[in-house]
Chain A
Amino acid sequence: MIIDKKIQFLIRCAAVVAISLLYFFIDARETQLFPKCPFHSLTGLFCPGCGSQRAISALLHFDLISAMRFNVLLVASLPMIGYSVYASIMNTFTTKVVQQRLFHSVTFIWILAVVVMLFWVLRNVHVYPFDLLAPHH
């Protein structure tokens, strides 16, 4: 099945908008409606994504501090996500080609991988200041 790149991009945009509306009007910080992390339910430990639903609700209400309390890595990755979105807009709708060289740098990817793994371990250490990395209000 071949769908035009532009239409594919617009479908993704529509999905992002729909999910944003859901997490804006139903604040994940105040409801039990959304699914809990399966990893956390099984092990009791926090994974790198724990708290991201509440962080998204916080971000959609422009509460950056609250979002950082729930998942600081998600907030820190926003510039990277923004750059990626910019690149895909340019590559889809214009003739300009954005190559995203940074994302193909082996050093950069390894640093990212190590940061994610460290974040995973450290947010489960119940000692100050690492406990600040665990999702909290």
Chain B
Amino acid sequence: MEQNYQQQPMLTPPKNWLVESILVTLFCCLPFGVVGIVYATQVSSKFNAGDQAGALQASRDAAKWTKIGFFVGLAVLVLYIIAIFAFGVTAFWANKDAMNDYR
């Protein structure tokens, strides 16, 4: 598939993962999303400059960092839920007033 991309000139820029990286930044609350946004700028600027290989590489990097952010966020959530069930929900509720913290 990548072979095809490189043989013929691309008419549209490769996927820049912009919306996905914004979502990771706002939902998973991890700085990886910001890295994704920076690569998103490179996808478009390199494509506009005619550097198709560079745009494809930036697209792959944007995808990589956005996915790392997404899966780390997901892993934190899953581990957290497992921890709750392992230690018992009651322990969390007992501390409800004491733990009036941000989340």
Interface, chain A (partner B; CB < 8 A): 28, 32-40, 46-54, 71, 73-74, 77, 80-81, 84, 99, 103-106, 109-110, 112-113, 116-117, 135
Residues A106 and B45 in contact in the complex (CB < 8 Å), given A32-B92, A113-B38: yes
A109 and B16: CB pair below 8 A?
A: yes
24 contacts between A and B (CB under 8 A): A32-B92, A32-B93, A32-B99, A32-B103, A33-B89, A35-B80, A39-B30, A40-B29, A40-B103, A48-B29, A48-B34, A50-B102, A53-B103, A73-B26, A77-B22, A80-B22, A81-B23, A106-B41, A106-B44, A106-B45, A109-B18, A110-B41, A113-B41, A135-B102
A38 and B38: CB pair below 8 A?
A: no
Q: Which residue, of B27, B43, B76, has the highest number of chain A Cβ atoms within 10 A?
A: B27
Chain B residues near A28: list those with CB within 8 A: 103
* Contact of B3 with A by CB under 8 A: no
Contact for B103 among A36, A48, A77, A116, CB less than 8 A: A36
A81 and B19: CB pair below 8 A?
A: yes
* Binary contact readout B1-33 vs A (1 if CB under 8 angstroms, 0 otherwise): 000000000001100101100110111111101
Residues A109 and B40 in contact in the complex (CB < 8 Å), given A71-B26, A81-B19: yes
B40 and A52: CB pair below 8 A?
A: no
Q: Which 10 A-B pairs have the closest CB atoms?
A: A49-B29, A36-B103, A35-B80, A84-B19, A37-B29, A109-B41, A104-B44, A113-B37, A106-B45, A103-B18
